[in-house]
Structure 1
Amino acid sequence: MIVRHVPGPIHHRVVEHDGTIYVGGLVAGDKSKDMKGQAEEIFAKLEDLLVQAGSSKKKLLSVTIFSAAFGERQGFNEAWTEWLAPEDFPVRAYIGGAELSEGTRVEITAIAAK
């Protein structure tokens, strides 16, 4: 069974299937923030969406990071290691050179267990 959560004009923010939660691309609302600030804002959104879907950040399986500011990766990693405990790290890919909306430094997609 497929369950769709948080509908939007062109997609659902979260889709659930067979005990797996898929979270679509998340970006920060405040484009004036640096990489760390945008990452922190996105992590708060992601955590909230996971909880709404009956999961948590401890159940993350995979995270894909699209960065328009690859040189600022350290700021992202600082926010990441403050947000997640090492024993809860999922697999991840950090992809640089992404063409994102103006002012967006990073966008994240995630997959988690229910």
Structure 2
Amino acid sequence: MSEITRKHTGARMSQIVMHGDTIYLAGQVGTAGESVAKQTQSCLEKIDALLGEVGSDKTKILQTTIWLADMADFAEMNAVWDAWVPQGHTPARACGEAKLALPEFKVEFMVTAAR
């Protein structure tokens, strides 16, 4: 059975959990109060850094779930996402509207990737 490795583990969650060659990232949010575009860019930068830390990258993302506080921000978020995600390596993806942890958060990303 594959070992489970956790990184950046706190009382509530780990930022990275690895099981075999599968990587699970905790939900990533940007700086509260910034625009959806800036929060999205910040989330994607965090995802790049976390995946890089465990020997992966955005070309190996298997699935992404995106939560928007308001679906009216869908196009603005997608403009940043489309510029970031490598064509030919787009993951399975879902996007929905949800109340996030703080009202100032506009977007949150959850990622599963391969190593």
Q: Would you say same fold, with TM above 0.5?
A: yes
Percent of aligned positions with the same letter in both sequences?
Answer: 30
Instruction: Look up the SS of the partner of 2:11 in the other structure.
Output: coil
CA distance in 2, matches of 1:9, 1:78: 35
Give the aligned length: 112
For residues 30-69 of structure 1, give each alpha carbon's deviation from its aligned partner in whole angstroms, at most 9, with x where no partner exists. 2232111110000000110000011101100000001102
Alignment partner, residue 99 of structure 1: 99
Alignment partner, residue 12 of structure 1: 14
How do 1:1-114 residues align onto structure 2 when only pairs under 5 Å count? 1-28=3-30, 30-96=31-97, 98-100=98-100, 101-114=102-115
CA distance in 2, matches of 1:9, 1:25: 15
Aligned residue type for 1:73? F
- Native 8 Å contact 1:20 1:112 kept in 2: yes
TM-score, normalised with respect to structure 1: 0.94
- Native 8 Å contact 1:5 1:53 kept in 2: no
Aligned residue type for 2:73? E
CA distance in 1, matches of 2:8, 2:67: 22
TM-score, normalised with respect to structure 2: 0.93
Deviation at 1:9, TM superposition (A): 2.7
Aligned residue type for 2:14? H
Instruction: Look up the SS of the partner of 2:26 in the other structure.
Output: strand
- Native 8 Å contact 1:50 1:57 kept in 2: yes
Instruction: Look up the SS of the partner of 2:39 in the other structure.
Output: helix
Where has structure 1 moved over 4 Å in runs of 4 or more?
none
Instruction: Look up the SS of the partner of 1:87 in the other structure.
Output: coil
Ranges in structure 1 where 5+ consecutive residues have no aligned partner: none
